[in-house]
Amino acid sequence: MKFFSYLFISSLLLTGVSVAHADTVADQGKAELASIAQLVQDMDGRYPVNSIQTNEVADAVIAESEALQRRLQTWYQTAERHCYDIFFVNDCLQDIKVQRRRYLPTLQRMSIEAKAVQRQIRVIEKDREQARKQVD
């Protein structure tokens, strides 16, 4: 009988530890998402639509956008693993997908715009080079 009570108490303690760990993971995930949200908002304020004009700015935007997209994806994967530790798995998964969709389009918009500016600059440079060759 003592063995079973020891086993029961041990399982309760382990459950308490896992719940505490899950709460810690959830708090860290919320803090990480808040940090990402602030960085996305700051970046969106610095680079509104049609504000990227030079290749150097475009390079910086692409690098920053891709870094934030990777960070958002890492947060999503961690949050997804956490969802499987709680009872309402599907609600949790749906919630984190919605949260990710809040920030991903903004990051993608900036990255796409920067890449379009880079393509446009390359085309203009090639046209100038061809014009010089024709003159010579």
- Tally of domains in the chain: 1
Predicted TM-score (pTM) of the model is 0.73
Decide: 80 and 93 in contact? Cβ < 8 Å: yes
Burial class for 43, CB neighbours closer than 10 Å (0-12, 13-18, 19+): middle
In a domain, 14, yes or no: no
In a domain, 57, yes or no: yes
Decide if pLDDT at 10 tops 80: no
Decide if pLDDT at 1 tops 80: no
- CA angle, 31 as apex, 26 and 82 as ends, to 5°? 25
In a domain, 61, yes or no: yes
In a domain, 79, yes or no: yes
The domain in which residue 37 lies consists of: 25-135
Output the average pLDDT for the chain. 86
